[in-house]
Structures are given as C-alpha cells and as structure tokens.
Amino acid sequence: MKIVCIGGGPAGLYFALLMKKLGPQHEIRVVERNKPYDTFGWGIVFSDQTMEAMQRWDPESAGHIKQAFNHWDDIELHFKERVIRSGGHGFVGIGRKKLLNILQARCEALGVELVFEHDAGSDLDYPEADLIIASDGLNSKVRTRLAQVFQPDIVTRPNRYIWLGTNKPYDAFTFLFEKTEHGWVQAHIYKFDENTSTFIVECPEEVWRAHGLDQADQEQSIAFCEKVFAKNLQGAKLMTNARHLRGSAWLNFQRVTCKQWSHFNGNSHVVLMGDAVHTAHFAIGSGTKLALEDAIELVRQFTERGDRAECIAPVLEQYQGLRAVDVLRLQNAAWNAMEWFEVCGQRYCDPLEPEQFMYSMLTRSQRISHENLRLRDARWLQDYERWFARGSAVSDGRPPMFTPFSLRSVTLKNRVVVSPMAQYQCLDGRVADYHLVHLGARALGGAAMVMAEMTCTSADARITPGCPGLWNDAQMHDWARIVAWVHQHSDAKIAMQIGHAGAKGSTCVPWQGGGMDQPLPTDNWPLVAASAKPYLDGGPLPRAMDRADMDRVRADFVASTLRAAQAGFDWLELHCAHGYLLSGFISPLSNQRTDDYGGSLENRLRYPLEVFAAVRAAWPAHLPMSVRISTHDWVQGGITPADAVLIARAFKAAGADMLDCSSGQVSPHQRPSYGRMYQTPFSDRIRQEAQIATMAVGAISEADHVNSVIAAGRADLCAIGRPHLANPAWTLTEAARIGYPGLAWPQSYEAGKAQLEAGFARERSLQAQSAASQERVA
C-alpha cells in the first residue's frame, strides 16, 4: 500500500512506524510542515498504562522513551499557604521534542520516508496514495476541507491558558493556585527532563482581561506569570517557545469531536487521527495518549483483517467503531476535569479548606473514586478521612458516609437518606400497614433517615387516587402510628415530604394506566396550576390559579405542616420539583403568567416562596426543612443549573436549611443526560455558590459514590432511591461491603451482621488474590 501521513506529530509518526513494522513492503511517507527539531510546547505527560501498550507494540521506541522519561507518582497542591501531597498517581513525563525525535529516528530506521518543511495543502495532493492519515492536529486542514463529511463539532472553552516552561525542578505534578486582585489564577506544572518543567498558567477570560493580558505581548505575559507565582518560583524564570505565534500566546482550549472519521475522496481513503478528530483538555493530560492509541488501534485492525488495499474500508469502519467509544469516555472525564478548573476560582477556591480542595481536585473527573484514592495512597486517604470526621465531631477516621450530620436540633447518624418514593398504595389518602412495613423496613436498614413519599395537601392535590395525604386528622393519626414505630424500633429519623400535584394531578396509578402521568379515564378531579397549560401535549387542561386559589392552597400546605408536626415527623421537605404545582410556578416552561407571579425568575418564585414562608412559620423552629427542586429542566428555555443557584439562594434567604437537588420531569420533552451520579454536579454547584447544605440524588448506588460525594463536599447528604427498592437494608449492606463495622444493626438482626461481614471480607480477599495473580501473569 502507498500511505501518506499528513502531519508528523505523535499520531502520524507512531502510525507510520507501526505500519511499516507490520508490512515493510508498504511505501509510507510522513509530511510535516515544521523542521525536524522544531516544535511547539514543552513536555507532555501520560500514564503508566499508555507506556505498557507502547511496550507491547514497539519495544524499541518504548525502550528509548522509557530511558528519556521522568517517572513520578506524587501530586502536590500549593493553596492558601499550605502544601499537600499525595502519592500513587503514576505519570511519565517526556519532552515533546524528545518524544518526536525518538519516533522520527525509529521511522527512519524502519524505512519510513520523512518529508520536513512541507505544508501539505490538501489530501487531494496525493492521488497515488491508497490511504491518507490526516494527523494534522487541532486545526486540521483536511478536516476543514471535508467538514461536510466529517461533521466536526468544535467547542471553544472560556478559560485562557499559556504553555510555558521553567528550569526550576519540580519532583511532583504540582498545582499552584494564587488569588490576585481580579480573581484566582492557577498553574499546572510537571517535570519532563532533568532540568525542565512544563508550566501551564490558566485563568478565566474575565480575570485575564482585567489584568490587561489581552493587550500583553509574550514578554509581558511571562512577567505577569512570574509575578503571580513569584513565591513558588523563587527567582526562577519562565520561558516561552511559542514565539512563532503572533501577539499573545494565550489560547482557549478547543474541544473537537467528529461524527465521521473517514472518507473516500475518489482516489484515496482518508482517515482522521489524533487531535484532528478529537481533543482532550490538558487537565487530564491525555491528548498524546489518545493519538498514540488511535495509531495502535488502526494498525491492530490491519493486523487482524489484512494489510491490503481492499481491506482498508472495513478496517476504517471498525477503527472508528471501537475508538469512538473509548475516546468519548475519556472526553467526558476530561470535560469534568476541564470544567473543574474553569469554575474553581468562583466555586471552590474561596469556600473550601485546603484538605477538601485537594480531594475535590483529585476527584474532579468523577473517574477517580474514594476507593481508587485508597489504592493510590492509603495513608493520605486515611489522614483525609480523619480530617473530615473531625469536622463532624467524631474522632475516629470512619468513612465520610458514616459521619453524623446535624441541622437545627436533629442529628442524623450518617449521610444516607431513603429518597421519597411514591408507592400508590393508599385509599382516600390514608397510609396503613403497607407503609408501616415499607417505611419500617427501610428505617431498620441503616439509613439515617427515611423520607415519606410526596404526601398531598388536599384530595385534589393528589397525583393519583393511590397517593397519601395530610388533609385530615384521620390521615395524621395513620402517619403518627408509623412515625412512632420508626422512633420506637430504630435510630433512624423520619421525614415528611408535602406537595401538590398541580397540572400533573388526576392520573392513573402507573401499573393501571400504562405508565406514569397518564390521565384517569374516569372520576377525574379538576386541576389547578400556574398557567392553563397541560403537562402532556393534548392532556387535561388545568385552570390558572387566581388569588383565592393561591390562598386556599397555601392554607392547605400550612394545615398539612401542622399535622406533620403533630404526627411527630423529624424533618419536613417542601416538594418544589418534578413539574408539580410549585415547580410549575418556578419553570418558565409551565409558568406563562403575566401578573406578579410570572415572567422573571423573581416573580416565578414569589408564590413558592410565599408557601415556603407560611410552612416554615408553622413548622417547629427546632426542626429542619429542606426544599426539593428540579435543578435542570433538560429542555431549551427551561431552568438551568445557573438558575438553580439563584433559586437556592432565594429559598436560603427565606429560611430553608437544605436544598434537595433533583432534576427534570418538568416537561415530557426533556432530554436528560443520565449517568452515574448525574445530578451531583448540580448539588455541588449549589452548595458552593449558594453556600447552603445540599442533598444529592440520582444514580448514587454504591458506598464508594456516597463517600466521594460527601468527602469532596459535593453534598451533605445523599438520597438513595431505587437501590432501596431492591434492598431495604442497603446502608447496612454497603457498610459490610466496604468493611466498615461501626454501623449498629437493629438488636434483633445482630446475628446477621457478622455473617454478612465475613462473606464480604472473603470476597474482598479473593479479589485481592486474583488481582495479585493477574499482576504476576502480566
């Protein structure tokens, strides 16, 4: 085959050499516009894992790279006059020039033709080639020419960064955070040879402009960075090697993805590789890894399917199919890490103490969990657990999930709450034996608090005929029996969630009417809502509430609150989420009023806040109140997480103790991005920016998740829903699974504790043995 690689970066060179190794008969040329030793940037870093793959595919180049690289394990944070260091992270650093020179030399030794100082105009310039690798980097000309085919999506991110170097030695991946008069500026630093370290400086656009860096040339920019980080640099100089860039060398990161990765241009197959097809932010340091792994995968496909011209089309199809999945996974993690650095100045730097800031930074991609950190540096994590536990007034270093948490006069024994979950098992709004067993079992299951499902403030406030209520005293006495049972037989607290269904009322019990939100065929009741807008397209039309309706509904909320207090509940939650009545006022998708209760967010919040204030005044002052909101409508034009911060601030000002951060269900047209802990970032944002306690909820399904969320300060409590449907004793089970013996079991169940713990201990030791034997095999 005749192969041309346009661009001699890591992707093009590595593919060329691996392919030449596979079939020495192939004519392979790499066309590079720069001179052989001329390149941008300083050092790059990749993980031990990438190095292992390179060792398997080409031990010769891997050997040279290993000799040249710097290996280190530690990450060091310099923040608020403190230095914190943790180990076990495993990186290798190498100069970009050095890496390219090794790959160039290996290409030459194998007989790849290297053409330097030639700017390739287009893939069409090489009609004789069977295969053209477009490895021409971020600003790929080939991708731009064939944009209709490749359909690139390029997102320019808001932060500014500059890639500098220094001769000051650093022996850890070092992060510096400095507060300037215009905001926080950070540096990411790593050593890549004996005397040189990469020194990337980053800050938000507004901080950059406020410092006049938009007007600064490279010398002035360097002077600025030297001044900001003078304390750390101690006289060492910063250097640039981007003098070829005109004017300022400050860049914005561009995230590139492409729908299609390859194309036949009439003469040749053209395929994108490396930065030309995908980029990963330097916060996760994986751009070179992705480029090298692309090259490996494409060669692997040729190895398996045959390295002949007729094999190219299926090989390219398979290459994209396999790589796209891995790349997306890494880009998602890189996105979280990138966002963390984009918002850290406004979200984390001021409120978090150095210990927690370090934890939050290390887990920024949400790929590294609490237990991953333990594997990396058990001692550091143990110290951190001790530090965290001290903040909750416990002296042992128990996992964060099992630390107590207090609000007003209530202390929860740990951070797990059974999320409210409608059961549709009531007649006339009355709970009976079903709820006694359902809530009682979960109260015995180790969670610190069980929250009753949405309980309605009037008969016409119900979602379905099976929903519970608190609109009469008989209902109050039914609840009082359950509350008393929970208090007598468990050490769990019990919370009441009150709500009104609004436009989503008068629907069937899900298993009787073909799913959620389906209107009752008969015996409907009239609906009220913020506006006369049905929830489902073509669904039953609610009446827009007038002032008299508002007064009546507010009075119903107050009456239910008084009954909840009389029934003995420990905690009250006001349901302002999921498109029900109060949520329907908050979201612009459902509130189209033109009076004082519609229009701006301030107006849309007016009635929910009015209800909140009346309820708070009726609820005993020594007991806490949380508010559940939908932090994201997942629909264009709906509530966004930025709005949710304003909503949280408003409820906080009105006296709310905690925001319970759910999302969605406000519109049937929602397009949520589900995934592990997918709503936790909204809780994190609200907690830091509105400075209020939060409860995270949604796809939190392991102790490891709860520990990471709580330890990083992304929430104060975690509500666990569906896992509690599968296992009422979810918290007891998870404690045993992670080997934490300190959670007390109900006396009568005690005999089961040691047995469960022994079972999990055996499982952990088998896993450890199998990991050790795999290591020996490898």
Name which of 134 and 648 has its Cβ closer to ligand FMN. 648
Catalytic residue among 319, 424, 535, 580: 580
Q: Establish if 557 lies at the interface with ligand FAD (CB under 6 A).
A: no
15 binds ligand FAD (CB under 6 A): no
Tokens 């100089």 locate to 237
Question: Which is closer to ligand FMN, CB of 28 or CB of 501?
Answer: 501
* Residue number with CB closer to ligand FMN (399 or 698): 698
Tokens linked to 730: 């979810």
Could you tell me what percentage of the chain is helix, strand and coil, using 3-state DSSP and rounding each to the nearest 5?
A: 40, 20, 35
Q: Which of 137, 345, 465, 588 binds ligand FAD (CB under 6 A)?
A: 137
- Least distance (Å) between residue 510 CB and ligand FMN: 8
Residue type, 778: A
Nearest Cα to 189, choosing from 170, 204, 208? 170
326 binds ligand FAD (CB under 6 A): no
Apex CA 462: angle with CA 459 and CA 464, to 5°? 120
Which residues touch 294 (CB under 8 Å, ≥6 apart)? 11, 15, 273, 274, 277, 319, 323
Binding segment toward ligand FAD, per CB under 6 A, in 39-47, 80-88, 352-360, 678-686:
39-47
Q: Least separation, in Å, of the C-beta of 271 and ligand FAD?
A: 12
Q: Which of 95, 165, 274, 505 binds ligand FAD (CB under 6 A)?
A: 274
Q: Whose Cβ is closer to ligand FMN: residue 421's or residue 646's? A: 421
Residue nearest to ligand FMN (CB): 721
46 touching ligand FAD, by CB under 6 A: yes
Judged by beta carbon distances under 5 to 8 A according to partner kind, the member of ligand FAD, ligand FMN, none in contact with residue 540 is none
Nearer to ligand FMN, 115 or 699 (CB): 699
- Say which entry of ligand FMN, ligand FAD, none residue 185 contacts (CB below 5 to 8 A, set by partner kind): none
| CA distances (Å), origin 94, targets 51, 97, 420, 424 | 12, 8, 52, 61
Identify the DSSP state of 245. S
Interface characters, 102-131, with ligand FAD (x: CB under 6 A): -----------------xx-----------
Judged by beta carbon distances under 5 to 8 A according to partner kind, the member of ligand FMN, ligand FAD, none in contact with residue 542 is: none
Nearest residue (CB) to ligand FAD, 286 versus 662: 286
Helix (H, G, I), strand (E, B) or coil at 677: coil
For 461, counting Cβ atoms within 10 Å of its Cβ (0-12 exposed, 13-18 middle, 19+ buried), the class is buried
316 vs 695, beta carbon nearer ligand FMN: 695
Minimum distance from CB of 682 to ligand FMN (Å)?
12
Is position 7 an interface residue for ligand FAD (rule: CB under 6 A)?
yes
Of 281-289, 474-482, 555-563, 646-654, the segment contacting ligand FAD by CB under 6 A is 281-289
Instruction: Give the nearest distance from C-beta 287 to ligand FAD in angstroms.
Output: 2
When asked if residue 152 is in the footprint of ligand FAD (CB under 6 A), the reply is: no
**Beta bridge mates, 238:** 166
Burial 480-512 (b: 16+ CB within 10 A, else e): bbbbebbeeebebbbbbbbbbbbbbbbbbbbee
User: Within its chain, how far is the Cα of 450 from the centroid?
Assistant: 26
Binding residue for ligand FAD, selected from 6, 258, 299, 509, defined by CB under 6 A: 6
Select the span of 172-180, 268-276, 444-452, 642-650 touching ligand FAD (CB under 6 A).
268-276
Find the binder of ligand FAD among 152, 165, 204, 285 (CB under 6 A).
285
End-to-end alpha-carbon separation of the chain, Å? Answer: 35
699 binds, among ligand FAD, ligand FMN, none (CB under 5 to 8 A by kind): ligand FMN
Q: Shortest gap between Cβ of 141 and ligand FAD (angstroms)?
A: 5
Binding of ligand FAD by 178 (CB under 6 A):
no
Which string of b and e fits 321-346 if b means at least 16 CB within 10 Å?
A: eebbeebeebbebbbbbbbbbbbbbb
Determine the Cα–Cα distance for residues 287 and 279; give it in Å rounded to an integer: 6
Here the tokens at position 224 are 């600025």
* Interaction of residue 721 with ligand FAD, rule CB under 6 A: no
Does 34 bind ligand FAD (CB under 6 A)? Our answer is: yes
Residue whose C-alpha is closest to residue 370's, from 730, 714, 766, 773: 714
> If binding is defined by CB under 6 A, does position 342 make contact with ligand FAD?
no
Residue 268 Cβ vs ligand FAD, minimum distance, rounded to whole Å: 16
What is the residue type of 366?
Q
Give how many residues touch ligand FAD by CB under 6 A.
Answer: 34
Question: Which region, judged by CB under 6 A, interacts with ligand FAD, from 55-63, 135-143, 533-541, 620-628?
Answer: 135-143
Options 15-23, 67-75, 137-145, 600-608: segment touching ligand FAD (CB under 6 A): 137-145
Taking the complex as a whole, how short is the minimal distance between the CB of residue 419 and ligand FMN, in angstroms?
3
Query: Closest CB to ligand FMN among 311 and 421?
Result: 421
Q: Quick one: which of 58, 275, 307, 633 contacts ligand FAD (CB under 6 A)?
A: 275
CA distance 223 to 238: 8
Q: Does the annotation mark 161 as catalytic?
A: no
Structure-block tokens of residue 508: 């069937």
Cα–Cα distances in Å, from 82 out to 77, 86, 177, 382?
8, 13, 11, 19
In the set 21, 64, 141, 685, which binds ligand FAD (CB under 6 A)? 141
CA–CA distance, 159 with 203 (Å, rounded to integer): 6
The binding site for ligand FMN (CB under 6 A) comprises 419-422, 453-454, 497, 575, 577, 628, 662, 697-700, 720-722
Q: Confirm or reject binding of residue 583 to ligand FAD (CB under 6 A).
A: no
Q: How far is the CB of 491 from ligand FAD (least distance, A)?
A: 50
Q: Binds 283, which of ligand FMN, ligand FAD, none (CB < 5 to 8 A, cut-off by type)?
A: none
Residue 580 CA to residue 561 CA, distance in Å, equals 18
What is the b/e burial string over 77-94, where b = at least 16 CB atoms within 10 angstroms of the residue's CB?
Answer: bbbeeeebebbbbebbbb
What is the SS3 assignment for 585?
A: helix
Do residues 295 and 18 make contact, with C-beta atoms less than 8 angstroms apart? Answer: yes
Closest CA to 26 of 309, 215, 282: 309
Closer CB to ligand FAD, 6 or 62, in the complex: 6
Residue type for 755, please? Q
Question: Using the rule CB under 6 A, is 490 a contact of ligand FAD?
Answer: no
8 A C-beta contact, residue 159 and residue 125: no
CA–CA dist 577, 467 (Å, integer)? 17
Q: Name beta bridge partners: 44.
A: 94
Please report whether residue 44 would count as binding ligand FAD according to CB under 6 A.
Answer: yes
Report the interface residues with ligand FAD, using CB under 6 A: 6-12, 31-34, 41, 44-46, 119-120, 135-138, 141, 163, 200, 274-276, 282, 285-289, 291
Active site residues: 580
